[in-house]
Structure 1
């Protein structure tokens, strides 16, 4: 038995969306997990609901813990606070399993399907999505640094594409239609706005031709007719996928109909939680690419079941990360293991700056590829001194 003796949560005031979970066991090991968005709500679930049940249990029984935490009386079947809390615990338990056996998580999951995975760059800036609200980019915004890619794709996406190619990236993701959604609450998009949104795609193709893939992030902002108009306008640019085009992505019927009405491949969805949502998505033939977030869908245990569903439907898999470094590590291990995985998402602005302030190690990225790590477990720990930083909120629960 590997008895769980302590559950600890850590939050930093400068990263209010993030929460980390450390689980300690009687054999002296500490597993690390992470959740993102609504960190205070996740903290409450962890301490008021999870810890009283979890403490004292065997950390080796990952499947049993996952099934229990993902089926509360209410709060299941989505990516709400209960699921995000369960995901953080699950990632920490898998980290413990890898450490216990001295193997990386992709090996603990059953072995790698590849030695490395392609990375694509989500063209966000340094603080995108990390300090509460998403950053709104204006026409005259100054670059905060060489990787302020959200400003860059709004200025000249062609120049940005050349920069990414020089570092070996083979794909980039942008979201130039987002600013136009608010005017109609996403119900429609006018011709002038449509033309403005297409400009970055035109600039990329003019600058580098087909040497880089382009994904269009749509952030679940649009009605089905508006999404259809955008997707059909994108068809001449040969984009790799349109991601989360309608709001919300659990409207499987509307999504399946959209997929039938456009030649642009549909990618769905980081916002969904649990295998049942993905089962329904795939059964309805509503997506071409399966995207999931390890800290939102329920953790590695649930994610590998979703990956198996994707494989059974002959669909490629692309783990999401625009949230935190631990979720990136977890997604990478799944991407290395899952047979149909094609990409691991990264944000070069994050991995080159603030991710490095939070953890001891980050994945090795070279010429657009991320190599399989060989360190036991996830391969990273929280940075030394992080818990002692001013304003850090740490809570602990211990077994009696």
Structure 2
């Protein structure tokens, strides 16, 4: 970001977001089309949209056409605990705090069973496995999870761009197949959607190319009748950007929120979840600047 992108953008018109975004993707593709190059461009794009909102005196959702909702259901995204008893305990804690959706990061059936037993029958249970398995392994695992009413199985296969494998897995079980947090740009999402690989697409605003690229991905999802449910286990600007994007989305979906006690909140109480819901920020740009005190106290370098 500092040595490759900054020299290309300092002094440019910060309001020319779309043109600058397209130009940088072309100029920088020689250094790698995806991965850290697009991650850095994502950060720049989010910052430019924040600047545009502040310059206009409007929240980001107004710039994007206006919010269709100002409150979002949140789902509790748990850490990986491995031990079924602990998984059940944390799942029950989330349900007690008002979450109607709980996502695990577990890979073993006893942990999934413990979570299902710990939350109400009507609560949605999702399982994110972080790309561990071959197709044969994923088939066996999905079969073991099937009795536990899993709403979606997330990223079950390695590598994450194995769209043919995901497509083969999809439809064999009642649970949906979700993926997309490791994809960059709308082009990779187009390939995944054309392969009929998923029921739920999960672009990450900090990886896909920022707000600009997220809007393209949502349009693709709508055309393919695939749910658009962004990946957002963040604490910084990426989380605020996701709230705005979900606020303006055509279809209402829950926002992912890391579950646990946070020692400090970079945006104060702006991202507080109450009764399983979170308010969409209404201040200019992303809605609030990060706390200088938190940034100072938790700086690592």
Fold equivalence (TM over 0.5): yes
Inter-CA distance 220–151: structure 2 relative to 1 (3 Å threshold)? closer
Unaligned runs of 5+ in 2: none
Specify which of 368, 377, 390 is matched with residue 276 of structure 2. 368
After the TM superposition, which parts of structure 1 deviate over 6 Å for at least 4 consecutive aligned residues?
A: none
Q: What is the SS of the residue equivalent to 2:208?
A: coil
Inter-CA distance 322–62: structure 2 relative to 1 (3 Å threshold)? same
Cα drift, residue 267 of structure 1:
0.3
Determine the structure 2 residue equivalent to 1:33: none
Inter-CA distance 47–208: structure 2 relative to 1 (3 Å threshold)? closer
Q: Distance in 2 between matches of 1:284 and 1:266?
A: 13
Pair 1:117-2:72 in alignment: yes
**Number of aligned residues:** 300
Unaligned runs of 5+ in 1: 1-45, 125-149, 178-196, 394-400
Query: Residue 82 of structure 2 contacts residue 111 of structure 2 at CA under 8 Å; is this kept in 1?
Result: no
Cα drift, residue 152 of structure 1:
8.8
Pair 1:159-2:89 in alignment: yes
Q: What is the SS of the residue equivalent to 2:206?
A: coil
Q: Distance in 1 between matches of 2:43 and 2:125?
A: 31
Determine the structure 1 residue equivalent to 2:38: 83
Pair 1:379-2:287 in alignment: yes
Query: Residue 168 of structure 1 contacts residue 368 of structure 1 at CA under 8 Å; is this kept in 2?
Result: yes
Determine the structure 2 residue equivalent to 1:250: 161
Q: Distance in 1 between matches of 2:150 and 2:273?
A: 24
Q: What is the SS of the residue equivalent to 1:220?
A: coil
Which digits, 9 at most, give the CA deviation of each residue in 1:241-287, with x for residues without a partner? 00011011112112111214333210011011100110111111100
Query: Residue 234 of structure 2 contacts residue 258 of structure 2 at CA under 8 Å; is this kept in 1?
Result: no
Cα drift, residue 208 of structure 1:
3.5
Determine the structure 2 residue equivalent to 1:53: 8
From the two aligned structures, give the one with the greater strand fraction: 1
Specify which of 159, 172, 182 is matched with residue 102 of structure 2. 172
Return the TM-score normalized by structure 1.
0.70
Cα drift, residue 364 of structure 1:
3.6
Query: Residue 61 of structure 2 contacts residue 248 of structure 2 at CA under 8 Å; is this kept in 1?
Result: yes
Larger Rg computed on CA atoms: 1
Query: Residue 118 of structure 1 contacts residue 342 of structure 1 at CA under 8 Å; is this kept in 2?
Result: yes
Q: What is the SS of the residue equivalent to 1:173?
A: strand
Q: CA RMSD in A?
A: 2.1
Return the TM-score normalized by structure 2.
0.92
Q: What is the SS of the residue equivalent to 2:23?
A: helix
Which digits, 9 at most, give the CA deviation of each residue in 1:330-353, with x for residues without a partner? 11111111113411100132xx42
Cα drift, residue 160 of structure 1:
2.9
Aligned counterparts, 1:137-216, within 5 A: 150-151=80-81, 154-177=84-107, 197-216=108-127
